[in-house]
Amino acid sequence: MSEEKILLAHGSGGKLSHDLIKQIILPQFLNPSLEPLDDSAKINNQEGSIALTTDSYVVNPLFFPGGDIGKLAVCGTVNDLSMIGATPSYLSLSLIVEEGFSIDLLKRIISSIHEVAEEAGVNIATGDTKVVEHGAADQLFINTAGIGWIRPGINLSGKNAKPGDSILLSGHLGDHEMAVLSQREGFKFQGDLISDCAPLNNLVEKMLDACSSVRCMRDPTRGGLATTLNEIALMSNVGMVIEEEKLPVRESVKGICELLGLDPLYLANEGKLIAIVPSDEADRLLKVMKNHPWGRDAQMIGKVTEENRKKVVLHTLIGGHRILDMLTGGQYPRIC
Amino acid sequence: MKFIDEFRDKGIAEGLIRKIRQTSTRPIQLMEVCGTHTVSIFGYGIRGILPEQIRLISGPGCPVCVAPNEDIDLAIALSRQKDVIITTFGDMMRVPGSTSSLQKEKAEGRDIRVIYSSLEALKIAKEHPEKSVVFLAIGFETTSPTIAVAILQTKDEKLQNLFFLNSQKRVPPALLVLLQSNQVRIDGFILPGHVSTIIGRKPYQFIAEEFGRPAVITGFEPLDNLQGIWMLIKQIEENLADVEIQYRRSVHEEGNPVALKKIDEVFEKDESRWRGLGLIPDTGYRFKDPYEEMDACNFNVEIEPTKEHPECLCGAVLQGIKSPLECHLFKKICHPENPMGPCMVSIEGTCHTYFKFA
Amino acid sequence: MCLSVPGKILKIEKSRAHADVGGFLREISLDLCPNVSIGEYVLIHAGFAIQKVDEKEAEESLALLLRMAET
Ligand code: SF4
């Protein structure tokens, strides 16, 4: 038997990533803050609850239509905090730079970090910079950690979904992953595709102002909508039914997907959220979302069900149905 | 998107299903030869909305699944050579060879690049004159002419460092073997639309003439699938056997003569090894003389002895003899993260499709 | 077994063309399908146009399907 190695697919956000975390990392550290595996950890103290999260960012190419690695690093962490109902306040910023990297490019990335941090209303409170030898890293990696205060009276968790709840999605699927893919060597496409990379804290705030009984929010990043819904179905021990005709996908994303055999339900998003809400609040919340620039194309895409526990069922365009599984392995562009 | 959305119309789909229910009077088994059909049929939940007496079985139409272990092992052995760049369609990355896969070799640091078109292999070869670039030439008749074009250009431009690992397959003679072996009852064939854009209708004529089975060349959108199935049922109910074209907007009687000519310039028919089906006459291509020097088989590399999981039923699954559900390993040991056979790897593989959608 | 999508030809330069697939542009080869004109649709597979898509046929089959679905 050959020694087991880390594959790229272990980082794809799908089933292999889950197994890696569950089998190798979690068992060593299990504690009440970590265990729910929500997008941020909840830490309780006398004055209330703090949310804490961290994420590392690697993207090739570093600049893509609609953003760059710096913007991504702020938005990702701001969004993770927002998804458990926290108001993001402070971020740490840690850079791992490859020897030889252009200082001009670094400047551009730093100013993009500054810009989006302003927009999101967060402060970069601490940071670190390491330079590694040429070849030891690919240009630039960024890690950010973030903390925020959880709003009192709000309890968001992947464990809270209940049969009968409605599932809301804030906009088009797959824009980010496609915008990045369209810049890769060998797959170049021209078009108006831009990444949806955006800080969602303001949208979340508006939604929670309108309705404090939201049960769960998630941003469907790596692994896409299908993987995120499966995670919630598992954690809450419920089923879900999703209507294919309600899923917003841009024509151009659909086109590339058809061409390369990719499925938009598994593509990464960086500025979208899923909200699971009591059904009598759904219409009101949908209106709030549609009134916000980051939720203009929001849709109610399905329901939480008693049946099919731990499974997500898709009602297809032509009236059939199929099971929507988690992402397995990575998606490779294919010809057949 | 034009030519896609119109063929996903729910109202028309419901009408077609009604028609199918009205026409179908007896239990039948249809084979969808092509993996793209399998994916589309599962993806739209078509099995579930057909009357129960219509059974669809999946055929051998996934070029990745039918590639024998030796081909994958050769690709892996080549990737381990010094100064070799492997270029491949994404489809091949996860396919298990005897002990490794391209994905695992990439993790070991081999230079393996996923590309979308054979012409990108040319570009890479030009950019790296100091390296040997190998393109994994896999596919059915749809892809073969694109490979032929790359080979012709390589010759034209006198590129010395681009090689092709030939694992191409031809569909009609494989269907002949399936029909001759007669191990599963197939009442009608859903024939691959895109292969047929190249080869046209005639090469399938024997299905109707010699074996008396109806066949319909079918497109891939849900309405295409449903209409193709309905056309087959009608033939069966009326005791007819004909090769019809449902996918008229893209398939012509004579196929694509320009593409066929390119294939003919570069390749000639040859026997070829299929996983599960063995060596079948005429189902592959070999390089014609002037192009032989580009054959990656010319590399002198040692290939590991072939090993396949003894309980993997891929071979039988590919012929429609067994369903993945009959395989002991299915879902227990064999799943997309730990595939035991290529039918579990390829997105189009029958086992993968069952795993994902069933 | 072979993915292929329709794209609309926007620009032709010798044996290469720009095709529009759902609003994005992709450069494709016309080596296998040389007799196309701007505005026509082709099936694209692995970076090549492999066949024209016949608009008239498509309309006819849709009309037929529609009639059938209504009866
Ligand atoms: S389930 Fe796995 S082991 Fe069984 S036939 Fe399919 S690929 Fe082979």
Instruction: Find the CB nearest A255 among C1, C22, C27.
Output: C22
B137, pLDDT greater than 60: yes
Name the average pLDDT for chain B.
93
Q: How confident is the model at residue B306 (pLDDT cuts 50, 70, 90)?
A: confident
In the numeric block, which tokens belong to residue A194?
Answer: 């831009």
Best of C18, C24, C48, C65 to disrupt the A interface (most A CBs within 10 Å) is: C24
Is the minimum CB–CB distance between C64 and chain A shorter than 8 Å? no
Distance B188 CA to ligand 1 centre (A): 25
- The chains in contact with chain B, meaning 3 or more Cβ pairs closer than 8 Å, are A, C
Rounded CA gap, A273 and A229, in Å? 11
Backbone angles phi, psi at A272, to 5 degrees: -130, 150
Residue B352: closest C-alpha in chain A? A328
B275 belongs to a structural domain:
yes
Which pTM was predicted?
Answer: 0.90
Q: What is the CATH number of the domain that holds B129?
A: 3.40.50.11740
Find out whether the beta carbon of B65 lies less than 6 Å from any atom of ligand 1: no
- Choose among C2, C25, C44: nearest Cβ to A190: C25
What domain range includes position B268?
68-168+256-298
Question: How does strand B28-34 pair with strand B188-192?
Answer: parallel
Position with higher pLDDT, C2 vs A116: A116
Which 6-25 residues of chain C touch chain A by CB within 8 A? Answer: 7, 21-25
Residue A41 lies in a domain: yes
Residue nearest to atom 6 of ligand 1 (CA): B351
Q: What residues contact residue A287 under an 8 Å CB cut-off, 6+ apart?
A: none
Q: Tell me: do B273 and B321 sit in the same domain.
A: no
Lowest mean pLDDT among A55-64, B54-63, B229-238: B54-63
Q: Are A328 and A8 in contact (CB under 8 A)?
A: no
Please name the member of B36, B149, B262 whose beta carbon is closest to the beta carbon of C3. Answer: B36
Question: How much of chain C is in helix, strand and coil states, percent to nearest 5?
Answer: 25, 45, 30
The count of structural domains within chain B is: 2
Q: Whose CA is closest to B150, among B288, B262, B269, B272?
A: B262
- Does residue B134 register a pLDDT over 70? yes
Instruction: Indicate if B345 and B260 belong to the same structural domain.
Output: no
Rounded Cα distance between A117 and B145, Å, is: 52
Rounded to 5 degrees, φ, ψ at A89 are: -120, -55
Amino acid at position A295, single letter: G
Among the listed residues B103, B90, B98, B45, the one whose alpha carbon sits nearest the alpha carbon of residue B63: B90
ipTM above 0.90, yes or no: yes
What is the number of domains present in chain A? 2
In this structure, the answer to whether residues A222 and A195 fall within a common structural domain is yes
| Cβ A40 vs Cβ A51: under 8 Å | yes
What is the CA(B213)–ligand 1 centre distance, in A?
A: 29
CATH code of the domain covering residue A204:
3.90.650.10
Closest CA to B148 of C50, A230, A224, C22: C50
Number of domains in chain C: 1
Contact B194 C61 (CB under 8 A): no
Total CB pairs under 8 A between chain A and B: 115
| Interface contact C23-A191, CB threshold 8 A | yes
User: At B260, is the secondary structure helix, strand, or coil?
Assistant: helix
In chain B, what residues touch C68 (CB-CB under 8 Å)? Answer: 15-16, 19
**Residue B59 amino acid letter:** G
Between B12, B120, B143, which is nearest C45 by CB?
Answer: B143
Domain shared by A194 and A320, yes or no: yes
Q: How confident is the model at residue A82 (pLDDT cuts 50, 70, 90)?
A: very high
- Residue B221 structure tokens: 């959108």
Could you tell me if the CB of B315 is within 6 A of ligand 1?
A: no
Mean pLDDT, residues A259-283 taken together = 95
| pLDDT score for A2 | 47
Q: Given a cut of 90, is residue A16 above it in pLDDT?
A: no
Ligand 1 near B330 CB (within 6 A): yes
Same domain, A233 and A133: no
The gap from C-alpha B218 to its chain's centroid, in whole angstroms, comes to 15
Contact assessment for residue B121 and residue B150, using Cβ atoms and an 8 Å cutoff: yes
> Which residue's alpha carbon is at the smallest distance from atom 8 of ligand 1?
B312
What is the DSSP secondary-structure string of A93-106?
A: EEEEEETT--HHHH
CATH code for the domain of A136: 3.30.1330.10
Whether residue B120 is predicted with pLDDT greater than 90 in this model: the reply is yes
Domain that holds residue C42: 5-70
Closest CA to C20 of A238, B54, A259: A259
Q: Which residues of C touch B4 (CB under 8 A)?
A: 5-6
Q: Is residue A331 in some structural domain?
A: no
When pLDDT is averaged across residues B186-190 and rounded to a whole number, the result is 97
Q: How many Å lie between the alpha carbon of B348 and the closest alpha carbon of chain A?
A: 7
Both A145 and A172 in one domain: the answer is: no
* Residue B245 to residue B218: CA distance in whole angstroms: 7
Residue B143 pLDDT greater than 50, yes or no: yes
Partner-chain contact B16 C68, CB within 8 Å: yes
Q: What is the pLDDT averaged over residues B49-76? A: 90
Q: B336 CA to chain A: closest CA distance, Å?
A: 6
Q: Are residues A145 and A218 in the same domain?
A: no
The answer to whether residue B189 sits within a structural domain is no
Instruction: Give whole-number Cα distances, A308 to A242, A305, A311, A322, in Å.
Output: 12, 7, 5, 12
B275 and B345, same domain (yes or no): no
Residue pLDDT, tens place only, A285-295: 999 999 999 99
Task: Judge whether residue A1 has pLDDT over 50.
Answer: no
Question: Is residue A105, in this structure, part of any structural domain at all?
Answer: yes
What is the rounded CA–CA span in Å between residue C16 and residue A107? 39
| Shared domain check, A136 and A193 | no
Q: Which residue range is the domain that position A256 belongs to?
A: 166-324
Alpha-helical regions (H) of chain B: 10-23, 35-43, 46-49, 63-66, 69-79, 102-107, 118-127, 144-156, 171-181, 193-199, 205-209, 222-237, 257-266, 314-318, 342-345, 350-357
Quickly state the pLDDT bin for B310 (edges 50, 70, 90): confident
Q: How confident is the model at residue C22 (pLDDT cuts 50, 70, 90)?
A: confident
Is the pLDDT assigned to residue B212 strictly greater than 80?
yes
Same domain, B96 and B159: yes
Is A135 found in the same domain as A224?
Answer: no
In a domain, residue B344? The reply is yes
Residues A139 and A182 in one domain: no
Is the per-residue pLDDT at A45 higher than 50?
A: yes
Alpha carbon C18 to its chain centroid, in Å, reads: 12
Across all residues in chain A, what is the average pLDDT? Answer: 92
> What spacing in Å lies between the alpha carbon of B314 and ligand 1's midpoint?
5
* Chain A / chain C CB contacts < 8 angstroms: 52
- Residue A195: the pLDDT is 96
- Taking residues A236-253, report their average pLDDT: 96
Position A271 in a domain? yes
SS3 track for C13-45 = ECCEEEEEECCEEEEEECCCCCCCCCCCEEEEE
Find, in chain B, the residue whose alpha carbon is nearest to that of C24.
Answer: B1
A248 pLDDT exceeds 50?
Answer: yes
Pocket of ligand 1 contains residue B136 by CB under 6 Å: no
d(CA B40, CA B192): 12
Pocket test for ligand 1, best of B309, B314, B333, B354 (most atoms within 8 A of CB): B314
Q: Express each pLDDT in B332-349 by its tens digit.
A: 999 887 888 888 887 778
Q: Cβ(B190) to ligand 1 under 6 A?
A: no
Residues linked to residue A241 through DSSP beta bridges, in sequence order: A303, A313
What pLDDT does B316 receive?
87
Q: Residues A263, A249, A38, A65: is their CA dihedral positive or negative?
A: positive
Q: Where are the alpha helices (DSSP H) in A96-137?
A: 103-120
Same-domain pairing of B123 and B163: yes
Residue whose Cα lies nearest atom 1 of ligand 1: it is B330
Asked if residue B325 is part of any domain, the answer here is: yes
- Identify whether residues B79 and B162 lie together within a single domain: yes
Q: How far apart are CA C36 and CA C44, in angstroms?
A: 13
Q: How confident is the model at residue C61 (pLDDT cuts 50, 70, 90)?
A: very high
C-alpha A51, offset from chain centre: 17
**CA pair distance C63, A335, nearest whole angstrom:** 31
CA distance B118 to B150: 6
Which band of pLDDT confidence, cut at 50, 70 and 90, is reported for residue B110?
A: very high
Residue among B14, B108, B336 minimizing CB distance to A328 = B336
Residue A39 has pLDDT above 90, yes or no: no
Residue-wise pLDDT tens digits, A218-236: 999 999 999 999 999 999 9
Atom of ligand 1 nearest to the CA of B343: 7
CA A151 vs CA A40, A47, A294, B355: distances in Å: 14, 11, 21, 42
Give Cα separations from B155 to B45, B148, B348 (angstroms).
46, 11, 33
How many angstroms away from the CA of B42 is the closest CA of chain A? 7
Enumerate the residues of chain A whose CB falls inside 8 A of the CB of residue B115: 186
Looking up tokens 């720009």 gives: C18
The CATH number of the domain holding residue C42 is 2.30.30.140
**pLDDT tens by residue, A299-325:** 999 999 999 999 999 999 999 999 998
**Cα B164 to averaged position of ligand 1 atoms, centre (Å):** 29
Mean pLDDT of C39-60: 96
Kindly list the residues from chain A whose CB atom is less than 8 angstroms away from the CB atom of residue B8.
317-318
What's the CA gap between C36 and C30, in Å, rounded? Answer: 8
The best mutation among B327, B347, B348, B356 to test binding of ligand 1, ranked by most ligand atoms within 8 Å of the C-beta, falls on B327
